[in-house]
Amino acid sequence: MDIHKHVIRSAAEAFDLEREELGRFVGEVAGELEAIGAFWGDDDLGVTFVKGEGGGSGYEAVTGQLMAGADVLVNAHREIAGRLGLMKDNVQVGDWNLVAVILSRLPPADPDRPVWGTR
């Protein structure tokens, strides 16, 4: 198997750049929304919009979920870039035939157990 360290390094740099751009974009959009203020007003419809009604999520809850999801995505990009960097550094010492044997013996992935964004 041919492994090219410069390709791995390039992929790590791309994930790092995307992390920076995504974090900046999310921060800018959040700032723009905060600058608008309480655009929903303070009447009953506004409270329903913000808090939700009948078990449904309102603006407040959904905004929190979106920010948490964006955080997970930004952190995933940082983790991927870091792990690609480690992989690049360790690629020359790997016994790739043994790695292939180990991977071939792993059970198939369980679709009910997501890897990212869960704790």
Q: Which domain holds residue 36?
A: 5-104
pLDDT value at 117 more than 70: no
Q: What is the pLDDT of residue 110?
A: 81
pLDDT tens digits, one per residue of 1-15: 567 788 888 999 999
CA neighbor of 21 nearest in space, from 79, 78, 69, 88: 78
Residue 100 lies in a domain: yes
The answer, yes or no, to whether residue 88 has pLDDT greater than 70, is yes
Q: Which of the pair, 80 or 109, is modelled with greater confidence?
A: 80
Q: Is residue 84 part of a domain?
A: yes
DSSP states of 7-53: HHHHHHHHHHHHHHHHHHHHHHHHHHHHHH--TT-SSHHHHHHHH-S
Between CA 3 and CA 53 the distance in angstroms is 55
Domains held by the chain: number: 1
pLDDT of 35-81, one tens digit each?
998 889 889 999 999 999 988 899 999 999 999 999 999 999 999 99
- Residue 53 sits at φ, ψ, to 5 deg, of -155, 145
* pLDDT the model gives residue 17: 95
For residue 79, is it within any domain?
A: yes
- pLDDT bin (cut points 50, 70, 90) of residue 93 is low
